Amino acid sequence: MALEVLERRPEGRVGREALTIVGRKTLRKDAVAKVTGRELYASDITLPNMLYARVLKSPYPHARVKSIDVSKAVEMGAVVITSQDVPQVLFNPRLVSIPEATYKDWRVLTDRPLFVGEPIAAVAAETEELAQRALEAIKVEYERLPAVFDAIESMKPEAPKLHETIILKDREVKVERNVACRLEIAEGDVEKGFKEADVVIEREFRTNRRYHNQLETKAVVVNLEPGGGVTIWCTTQTIHNTRLLIHEIFGIPMNKINVKKISLGGSFGSSIHTNIIVPIAVALALKAGRPVKLVYTREEDMHDHVSFQMIFRLKLGAKRDGRLVAGQLQAIVDIGAHQIQAYPILGVIAGWWVSLYKLPHVKYEGIAVYTNKVPSCAFRGYGNPQTTWAVETLIDELAEKLGIDPLEFRLMNYVGEGDIFWGQGPTVKTVIRSCGVEELLRRGAELIGWHRRPKPGQQKGRFRRGIGMGRGFHTSSAGSPVPGSVIDYSGAMIKINEDGTIDYITALMDHGGGSLEAIAKIIAEELGVPLENVNIITADTQTTVYDVCTHASRGVYAGGATALKVARQVKQKLLEMAAKILDTYPHALRIRPDPKRGQGVIYVEGIEGKEITIGEVAMTARHKNWGTIAAVDSHRTEAGPPHFTAYFVEVEVDTETGIVKPIRVVAGADIGTVINPDLARGQIHGGFAMGMGMALLEDTPYDPDTGDLVNRGFLVDYKTASAPDMPRLKDFTVFFAETYEPTGPFGAKGLGEGAFNPAAAAIANAIYNAIGVRFYELPITPEKILQALRGGGENV
């Protein structure tokens, strides 16, 4: 698919003939270690003289610790820490935004827990079992306080208060009615806009509260270094922000904190911030004077992170001819007990919303509300899948009311090339320079048989099939021409070894999607070397320059652009040295990979004999003492371009059981130049599986009596898609649009989140097409379907 895309690229852009590595299927470098069990993850690290840690967590959703007696645990030989043993500072575990957008309300250990699972104390002992026994020997006297589990209830004057004051930058902020923060945006005159509209629809939507269920639970190992330093292996999407936070909390100089890059067993946003176990393990190691390992159980992990849950009040107005004229959105976001990125998400919800369809008049109000639940953090798409589900549901409804084909309605109104895109909310804007939306929609419609889909609600019989679509996008990085409230830059070092192989050293994390594989290809392409020669180095904070975080689908786009910039600097040095040796000029030289020699070969076009391998240049540079051919630099992209996606899904609804099965999927993606075709398809497969979970399966409701999760954190009661739930191989089609992003490395954009964002919306619209009922609350469970069908097909 990718090769076909490149072949037909418009002239003046990089054509297939010019690309030898980018766009071709290659084997990922870490695959052999991963299929043989040799790949190491944080929980695989064992150090000599290491202690095992366990965390004591609040069994109550809201309480005050009146007393805590750790004497028995200490007698058993355990090292114990409570809130008295940790620095008394408020912090925010996510450091991706600037201080003016980072509200602080967390402590390492608390004596006033605000959710079931909030850490109260921690122990370290010789074995995990002893640590657990010591934990059970700690006596805590709690004073139970009233708790609240619903965002609307939480804003009422009689609701229990979670936080009195929190910190923004260096100033105290008083919390009123449990509102963590709010954001209002208006453009145009929304009242006037709705007056001009011929059709207006307003709905309330409620999303689910989804648990990431990354396969690896949160884990950390801390080693103590002589002189008060710490070395940390942990589940993280950002080693540098982890180091910054440990510095902020403990005051350890940054050059004495080393955070090691290690493989991540999935994350999906759940380690966009420093997981709370990291400072806990550091505090334990410092007190014990020994290395400490702390790995959460699955049940603990489910009490550690969750998606944002939203209540949207969405109103859209359109003219009879199909032009949207006005939109109003109120987003009430249930953030749980603490802020990780509450303020930023209010901005991005607005951004995702206004970047889907052109709305001349808009009004937005975002309110983030505290509840006594697990704190919410980013979850693949960062509010975009939720927003897109609501918008794409309402767009479908509006089109139907207007009597316009929903596909054409979307094409009439979408935000595309030349329009302004709010990549990460109102402070991160860029002009869209590449857009394949029309191609995605037209080709997708053709492949699924859009125009042959049934009429909603016309079917009889037990099994009813329907086709639905959802379109969307995600930003590729939070880059933009001016600094916004989100920090976004990457770093890379590239050096040429004396044998012509290349070391690529970066702090950028690869969560498994293959970002670093793609970047290795970008480097190989630019330097003209075989891909095998580019080595992705396992690095740490001591040996790398800053990289903000792998999030916002920025790995390939922003990380790749940074590596490309550095590769060009290296190439310049390399060609200067080669020109000296070959008695020519740097700009007269070309490089081509020579797989036979296993080298990049530098040559003068048309003159025989004027050639030398990169290894020979590097070795000559050594013997002549010219130095290492290397460069290191940081880079901020001047844009954060959207990558676009569209899902067309056919579902089968069993009206006896209420079970919905997606049986056919056509997914199109505009990601600019496709660098890793098989891994890109894999992102889409995985995005769809997650979208199915969001639409049909996943939620973490609370039991108001216990204040705990209804499932108590047990995975047996948190269902995600398994293999038989997916469509068959031949029924899942993935295609890529023919686009080229001028600001991206070799024309590439991101994909990770766009691959997921519109999937749930497409499934929901397909269900409507099958049974004629719309659902405004996720997930659409079999119970809800049966109830709706029994209720005579009323929308619910």
Please give the residue ranges that form the binding site for other proteins (CB under 8 A): 25, 27-28, 30-41, 43-44, 46, 129, 212-217, 263-266, 268, 295, 297-298, 511-514, 678-679, 681-682, 684-690, 714-716, 720-724, 726, 728-729, 732
Shortest Cβ 240–other proteins spacing (Å): 21
Q: Closest separation between CB of residue 265 and other proteins, Å?
A: 3
User: Helices 384-402 and 406-413 meet at what angle, rounded to 10?
Assistant: 120
Helix or strand (DSSP H, E) at 67? strand 63-69
Do residues 669 and 737 make contact, with C-beta atoms less than 8 angstroms apart?
A: yes
Residue closer to other proteins (CB basis): 32 or 420: 32
Task: Check the CA dihedral 389-553-668-733 and report its sign.
Answer: negative
- Least CB distance to other proteins at residue 490 (A): 21
**Smallest gap from residue 717 Cβ to other proteins (A):** 9
Closer CB to other proteins, 268 or 648, in the complex: 268
For residue 216, give the amino acid letter.
E
Query: Would you say how long the chain is, in residues?
Result: 796
DSSP string, 66-127: EEEE-HHHHHTT-EEEEGGGS----B-S--SB-GGG-EE-B-SS-SS--STT-EEEEEEESS
Tokens of 469: 């679509």
402, burial (CB in 10 Å: exposed 0-12, middle 13-18, buried 19+): middle
Nearer to other proteins, 463 or 585 (CB): 463
The DSSP-derived string for 130-180 is HHHHHHHT-EEEEEE------HHHHTSTTSPPS-SEEEETTEEEE--TTEE
C-beta of 32 vs 152, nearer to other proteins = 32
Between strands 119-125 and 179-187, the pairing is: unpaired
Paired with 430 in beta bridges are: 421
Could you tell me the two tokens for 230? 């710490």
CA 456 to centroid of chain Cα atoms: 35
Closest by CA position to 351, among listed 259, 478, 229: 478
d(CA 152, CA 150): 6
Question: What is the closest distance, in whole angstroms, from the C-beta atom of residue 395 to other proteins in the complex?
Answer: 26
- State how far the alpha carbon of 582 is from the alpha carbons of 226, 617, 693, 773, in Å: 50, 10, 60, 74
Shortest Å, Cβ 246 to other proteins: 24
Nearer to other proteins, 509 or 575 (CB): 509
Of 327 and 662, nearer to other proteins (C-beta) is: 662
Query: Smaller CB distance to other proteins: residue 297 or 657?
Result: 297
- Minimum gap (Å) between residue 693 Cβ and other proteins: 9
Least spacing, CB of residue 579 vs other proteins, in Å: 40
Residue 455 burial (10 A CB sphere; 0-12, 13-18, 19+):
exposed
Which CB sits closer to other proteins, 178 or 213? 213
- Please list the alpha-helical segments (H only) found in 514-644: 515-527, 560-582, 614-623
Q: Closest approach of Cβ 513 to other proteins, in Å?
A: 6
Between 282 and 689, CB nearer to other proteins: 689
Instruction: Tell me the Cα Rg of the chain.
Output: 27
Q: Which two tokens stand for residue 535?
A: 């080595």
Count CB-CB contacts under 10 A for residue 16: 17
Between 482 and 729, name the residue whose CB sits nearer to other proteins: 729
Is the bond preceding 360 in cis, omega lying within 30 degrees of 0?
no
State the minimum distance, in angstroms, from the CB of residue 784 to other proteins: 24
Judged by beta carbon, residue 265 or residue 457, the one nearer other proteins is 265
Which contiguous run of DSSP H or E holds residue 402? Answer: helix 384-402
Task: Give whichever of 266 and 782 is closer to other proteins, judged by the CB atom.
Answer: 266
Beta carbon of residue 84, minimum distance to other proteins (angstroms, whole number): 32
Rounded to a whole number of angstroms, the minimum distance from the CB of residue 473 to other proteins is 20
